[in-house]
Structure 1
Amino acid sequence: MQRPVMTSPAFLRIPSAPATADDLGVAADLDDTLAAHADACVGMAANMIGVSRRIIVFADQETRRRMTMLNPRIVAKSGPYRTEEGCLSLDGMRAAERYERITVTYQDRRLRERTARFEGFTAQIIQHEIDHCDGVLI
């Protein structure tokens, strides 16, 4: 089910709680909401739909499929660079420091532990959404 996009900076600055099996419905709603905004958005975190849980969904730029991560953590990063990013929850563009390559540990929709490497724009999207989970606004 598509949900409204949260635009309150005060809410978005609150670090999200770990996701559990009880939050799988939130992950589905987040996926539906991202699909509805695919023309303007490539990734979302659960707090962007008003649920303070560590869940992200993003469009993998290599596979062209949406991917869901519960409790994502960046465990390695390399190749720092500066860029500008926009956000569906906030107006305008903002400066951000990102890494060209990252390794992420997360749980998939079946709550299985996974580790994967990402680079380029997909890595940038994931970093932006994990910032949301941490209550960091660019």
Structure 2
Amino acid sequence: MIREIVTDPILLSRPSREATMEDLTIAADLKDTLRAHADHCAGMAANMIGQSVRVIAVFVADQPLVLINPQIIKAEGRKYTAEEGCLSLPGTRRAQRFEKLQLRYQDEQGRIKQRTFNGFTAQVIQHELDHCEGILI
């Protein structure tokens, strides 16, 4: 189900709790909402649709990938300054990002995965992980 985007900075500033398998409907709604905004959004965190759980969705090769309870194992490459926008907030802001991330997460079937992401996808994941921590850029 496509959900409304939360724009309240107070709600977005709350750190998210760990997700459980009972939160899979949130993951599905997040994926649907990301697809609905595909023309101007590369990723979303669950708190952007009003659910403070550690679930994010990002486009990888034009398909939404859901990451449940994502954790950075390793951040590599040079740290650079990115100019980022956010669907929940007006304008753009600067943020420090790493070029490469190694993540551990659960997929939508609850399987633990480990994967490396580079470039723009790594940047988007870092932005969404900030949302999970209640950090607004």
Give 5+ residue unaligned stretches, structure 1.
Answer: none
- Picking from 67, 70, 75, the partner of 2:65 is 67
CA deviation string 1:87-120 (max 9, x = no partner): 0000000000000011011000011111100100
1:100 lines up with 2:94 in the alignment: no
In structure 2, the partner of 1:50 is: 50
In structure 2, the partner of 1:109 is: 108
Once the two structures are superposed, the pairs formed by residues 1-138 of structure 1 within 5 Å of their partners are 1-60=1-60, 63-78=61-76, 79-138=78-137
User: Matches of 1:86 and 1:105 in 2, distance apart?
Assistant: 26
CA deviation string 1:8-42 (max 9, x = no partner): 00000100000001100000000000111111101
When the two structures are aligned, how many residues end up with a matched partner?
Answer: 136
Identity of aligned residues (%): 51
Q: Which amino acid in structure 2 is aligned with residue 36 of structure 1?
A: A
Q: Any runs of at least 4 consecutive aligned residues in structure 1 with deviations exceeding 2 A, and if so which?
A: none
Q: Which amino acid in structure 1 is aligned with residue 74 of structure 2?
A: A
User: Matches of 2:114 and 2:127 in 1, distance apart?
Assistant: 18
CA deviation string 1:62-109 (max 9, x = no partner): x22110000001110112111110000000000000000110110000
User: Matches of 1:135 and 1:74 in 2, distance apart?
Assistant: 16
Give 5+ residue unaligned stretches, structure 2.
Answer: none
User: Matches of 1:43 and 1:101 in 2, distance apart?
Assistant: 17
RMSD between aligned residues: 0.6
Q: Which amino acid in structure 2 is aligned with residue 110 of structure 1?
A: Q
2:34 partner SS? helix
1:96 partner SS? strand
Q: Which amino acid in structure 2 is aligned with residue 111 of structure 1?
A: G
TM, length-normalised to structure 2: 0.98
TM, length-normalised to structure 1: 0.97
1:39 partner SS? coil
